[in-house]
A and B are shown apart, each in its own frame.
Chain A
Amino acid sequence: MKSDIILAGVGGQGILSIAAAIGLAAVKENLYIKQAEVHGMSQRGGDVQSNLRISDKPIASDLIPAGKATLILSVEPMESLRYLPLLSENGWLVTNSTPFNNITDYPSTESIIAEIKKVKNHIIIDADAIAKEAGSSRASNIVMLGAASPFLDMPFESIEDGIRQLFGRKGADVVETNLKALRAGRAYTEKNS
């Protein structure tokens, strides 16, 4: 078992909560993990990424080599494209469709979507809308995790457990909302892939 995941987004969008949920699931499955994060300057609205590697064998590098990522999980559409050199031939690109536009030369939505559609395996999902339906617009990252979950090579139950652990401190309501968001994301991918 081996998943090499690029989590992508913009500083402040909170991709690390996705990483934490997957990490907890992987620990439960007794798998090896390495997760390289970006702290510092880029967190002020710059592009950020996390390299998350999970395997049943010890992992050497903290960074995913070019062409080896099995999944790009992006919470922002333009950012999903920044890491294409890392995606493997059969890897999946799963991205939120809502742009985060904090630069003056942000490309048109159509051009971004057109580029994403050139990638063999891709899922484009309006995670913000689905999160709202699930009861919390703040859960869009967890919708994204749900949408990417079929490509994670891990039992869905373990990911659900990861969510329970991650949000447990915040109370049963928050856990339920996030589980709902997770399942809604997964359902979307199951219907659209």
Chain B
Amino acid sequence: MEKQLLLGDEALAQGAIDAGLSGVYAYPGTPSTEIMEYVQGSKLAAERNIHRKWSANEKTAMEAAIGMSYAGKRAMVCFKHVGLNVAADAFVNAAVTGVNGGLVVVSADDPSMHSSQNEQDSRFYAKFAMIPILEPSNQQEAYDMAYIAFELSEQLNVPIMIRITTRLAHSRADVVRKAMKQQNEVKLPSDPRQFVLLPAIARRNYKKLLLGQAAMELEAEKSPFNQYIEGANKKMGIITTGIAFNYLMENYPDRVCPYPVLKITQYPLPQKLVSKIYNECDELLILEEGAPVVEEMIRGFLNLGKPVHGRLNGLLPRDGELNPNLVAKSLGMSYYEGNAIPEIVKNRPPSLCQGCGHRDVYADLNEALKEYGTGRVFADIGCYTLGALPPFNAINTTVDMGASITMAKGAADAGLVPAVAVIGDSTFTHSGMTGLLDAVLENAPITVIISDNSTTGMTGGQDSSALGKILEICKGIGVDPEHIHVTTPLHKNHEENVALIKKELAYQGVSVIIPQRECIQTFARRKREEKKNA
């Protein structure tokens, strides 16, 4: 087949489609978003009627995928690394239920936090749940791994994690496709109680999971994705995981490394291969993108063996992405450093678009809060988080999706009254609704501003599950309709909106204000598409 230029994300999506995927379940999040978007744009996926609608959050996505697996079909779940925190309960238990149809979980890590609030390493989760990981080192491997992962999942009776990081997710390269597989038919699990995690059954399943570890390791041991590359100089042995291999090889223009290299892309760590490089070499250097997961395992708590170098002994930075130069330094190689960045070059942080409705919301809120002083605005995650920066300096917290409402409530419980929550529409249906129920049950004195731009703006304007539903949801949860207001965040309405916020700040109970104006980027795109289709 001919070559295609695909992002790592797109290669995963295409590999899964070709592997007989029946449904992808996801919530957007950089750098994973383009997986679902590729499936949504794929003609083949439409022809094959592959499920490809966004879920309300990562937990609902994960659970729907487990349901599809239960019914015998192949399902894939995609999210960014912190999405796995949200899905974790379902994820860990899915390892105990096992699968029926192949189940693949793609978790996209963001070392260096280009667009994230932390740089947690998803491999810890897979280890925790005791399931295999595939960690492609390039776009072709991303395709190939998605292509085999469903079968591996069915064979080993566990979900398979595919772990990628930002640079692979968002880098394009040639990919060659393989023959298309049929989707599975609907078929119930042979054991009708496999998915019933009552303690008695869970104990039995869990023993199976433990017993299955040997088979998982055997798969990694013989996996063509894990390679032992001989090297003449045994002073050092190098273990790479995922894309770190590329950064190593970049430093050898003829692509021959003088040291033995163990390239790991399938876990659990293959013990025989690791022992081989350990026994053969005097010292080890571990190159991995993200946390020192493998390094820690090989080094051991007491570090009594041969010298192991990497992020833990300071040869490489403890945090942030790797790159070819950091790897060169760790190998003692020198390179031309280029010219320094001139001093006149200034930082250019991201900012809210000119004309964005969130701007008006913050202008209104800042004005209304003047009499109470600063330090009482609990915000959430989305474009509106940029309200933390000048000129607004409008928000005081951003922790995780949904935390605005619940943190405002906690602060109000502590006596910080009034407390304000600012949350986006997509974040509200992701995980704000349940917190609002907590607040309603105690009639907490908080003012919740749901800044509704009718889209998931930060991640590029995906459909929002909240569209057209927020008002009814708030009423349904039990907010007093007298204290729910829909407004239009426009400069011309400034005074009216300020007065309304002031009034609700003074109210000793839950109020919800819903400033509603479509994101101007989504609006422009919608207009372009309407024109195209006209």
A interface with B by C-beta (< 8 Å): 10-11, 23, 27, 32-47, 51, 58-63, 65-68, 78-79, 81-82, 84-89, 102-107, 111-112, 115, 119
Contacts and interface: CB of A to CB of B under 8 A. Distances in A.
A40 B249 contact: no
Contact of A84 (B251, B324, B338): B338
Interface in B316-348: 323-325, 328, 335-342, 344-348
Nearest to B385: A41
A169 to B, nearest CB: 10
A39 B340 contact: no
B336 A89 contact: yes
Given A23-B172, A85-B337, 10 more contacts: A27-B3, A33-B172, A36-B167, A36-B171, A62-B243, A65-B324, A66-B336, A78-B346, A81-B342, A85-B339
B214 to A, nearest CB: 34
A59 B114 CA distance: 24
B483 to A, nearest CB: 32
A107 B347 CA distance: 11
A66 B340 CA distance: 11
B94 to A, nearest CB: 28
Interface of B: 3, 5, 7, 30-31, 33-34, 114-115, 167-168, 170-174, 243, 246-247, 249-251, 255, 323-325, 328, 335-342, 344-353, 383, 386, 390, 458-460
A65 to B, nearest CB: 4
B34 A39 contact: yes
B336 A82 contact: no
24 contacts: A37-B7, A39-B31, A39-B115, A39-B170, A40-B459, A41-B350, A44-B383, A46-B351, A60-B247, A61-B249, A61-B250, A62-B167, A62-B243, A67-B337, A78-B348, A79-B348, A84-B339, A85-B340, A87-B338, A88-B336, A103-B346, A103-B349, A104-B390, A115-B342
A26 B115 CA distance: 30
A39 B33 contact: yes
Contact of B172 (A35, A40, A58, A112): A35
B358 to A, nearest CB: 11
B338 A88 contact: yes
A54 to B, nearest CB: 11
B339 A45 contact: no
Given A37-B172, A46-B349, A47-B348, A60 B250 contact: yes
Nearest to B328: A65
Contact of A112 (B168, B344, B351): B344
Q: What DSSP secondary structure best describes chain B's contact surface?
A: loop
B344 to A, nearest CB: 4
A44 B353 contact: yes
A87 B339 CA distance: 7
Nearest to A45: B351
Contacts of B459: 40
Contacts of B249: 60-61
Nearest to A37: B170
B338 A85 contact: yes
A115 B390 CA distance: 28
A45 B368 CA distance: 28
B114 A38 contact: yes
Contacts of B170: 36-39
A79 B344 CA distance: 11
Nearest to A47: B348
Contacts of A65: 250-251, 323-325, 328, 335
Contacts of B173: 32-35, 59, 62
Nearest to A32: B174
Contacts of B251: 65
Nearest to A82: B345
A44 B356 CA distance: 11
Contacts of B386: 44
Q: Which of B7, B350, B390 gathers the greatest number of chain A CB atoms within 10 Å?
A: B350
Contacts of A81: 341-342, 344-345
Contacts of B7: 37
Contacts of B383: 44
Nearest to B255: A60
Q: Which of B325, B353, B386 has the most CB of A within 10 A?
A: B325
Contact of B30 (A27, A35, A41): A41
A47 to B, nearest CB: 4
A27 B4 CA distance: 9
A32 B271 CA distance: 35
Contacts of A58: 255
B458 A66 contact: no
Contacts of B114: 38, 40-42
Nearest to B3: A27
